[in-house]
Chain A
Amino acid sequence: MSFWQDPVAVIGQWILDLLISLNLPEAWVTFIYTLLGVIVVASFGLILVIFLIWVERKVAARFQDRLGPNRAGPYGLLQTLADIVKLLTKEDVVPEKADRLVFNIAPILSMVAVLLIWAVVPFAPGWIGTDLNVGVLYIAAVGSFGILSVLMAGWSSNNKYALLGAFRAVAQLISYEVPMLLTMLVPVLLARGMGMVHMVTAQDTWFIFLAPAAAVVFLISSIAELGRTPFDLLEAESEIVAGYHTEYTGMKFGLFFAAEFLHAFTVGVLFAIFFLGGWRGPWAEQAPILGLFYLMLKSIFGYFIIMWVRSTLPRIRIDHMLAFNWKFLTPVALALLILTAFLDKIFSETALRIPVLLIANLVVLAIGYVISSAMTRRQAKQRVKFKKRPVAKPA
């Protein structure tokens, strides 16, 4: 295995040999080796954010017919670094009546919650932080720290807008966790395992062809989990200032900001792993570095959809947000889960497996759409109609 095919394995082996040659006890060697791995994976995520913020600003600018950042460095690449310097030099304000400890822990927790997901992301064959056998559940578990950080930030700021934002955030995040978890179970059923490496190796056909409806529901509910437009009720600036991070300044605000961007990309990565085959592609097994390239390519596809939705859709109203979740996404996700379990068992190992699952998915999605739009129309009829009043017309 040459260096250019698999640099991580070569460097890792070199460090391991170095540590063993130092004659440390075995437990310490494992500890230091693991710690180095943690640092590498976490720094990868953190450095990625710098790049992602630039990408997002550039793409959003193009959607709005602007140029975006283009002054600092070539194509404005250094803009984010300049912003970081600006954020670091800002005054760090803590409100007088705020709960200092909780207030300061919340932004760190929000960043940690996202970084923890990267521990189980399989970047390429053999490149993974740790291959837990409960990988998918672990991702769901880590997500709850994100909710907690929002609640802590909103409560400790001692600001009514922050608290309102936190309430909204928790209502939204907990609700949308339900369809997200249910659709995450569909790839688990298809792969017959919860480990992330197993998930990738099981995708001889990408799961998006077996479960397109599940992929759509997963992406929508993940965008809601992110709290981005059109689901940005938790920081709706025209209603509740900035939601849970109203009182945050400087780098503490920067942490929330960076965590959101990294989370958006992480959703892209998870989408790629669950539905687009992860690092799989031509010659990825021979040269793992190609696998990393494929994963990043697929992730950027998911990330682009998220950015696209963000810059084209307006904010959804709060009752519509909850109704959309409980009356459309959750029933569809439940139906998909049950159907997939039955059909995948009945047609496993036969040639019919892929077409049957594909058609079943599309049918469920269509039925869900028809029912929910019929319900919307019926509600629209029941709405109170007012008599038309004369309106002043321009002369």
Chain B
Amino acid sequence: MIPLSWYLYLAAGLFALGLFGAVARKNAVAILMSVELMLNAVNINIVAFWRYLAPAEIGGQIFAIMVFAVAAAEVAVGLALFISIYNSRKTIAADEINLMKW
């Protein structure tokens, strides 16, 4: 049997990796990928909590499905933005997209 802690520690590690990627990567697509890592870590946690603490209620799985939907929407819009930015500015390095920065 696997204790709950294993899942939580794994998810914590994955979330930290994703956070590092989102903060430190230069390329905007890589940042989006890192955000996906963080979302996946959250999903592991949600499903593990459902299975270990409230298996009789389906709400945990529903929550995970909502995360899928939001992730899909986020990636679609995000990548569309990056492609649009690339078409007009020929770069998607996150620190060079600073036109709106004061």
Task: Find out whether A and B make contact in their complex, taking CB atoms under 8 A apart as touching.
Answer: no
**Which B residues contact A (CB, under 8 angstroms)?**
none
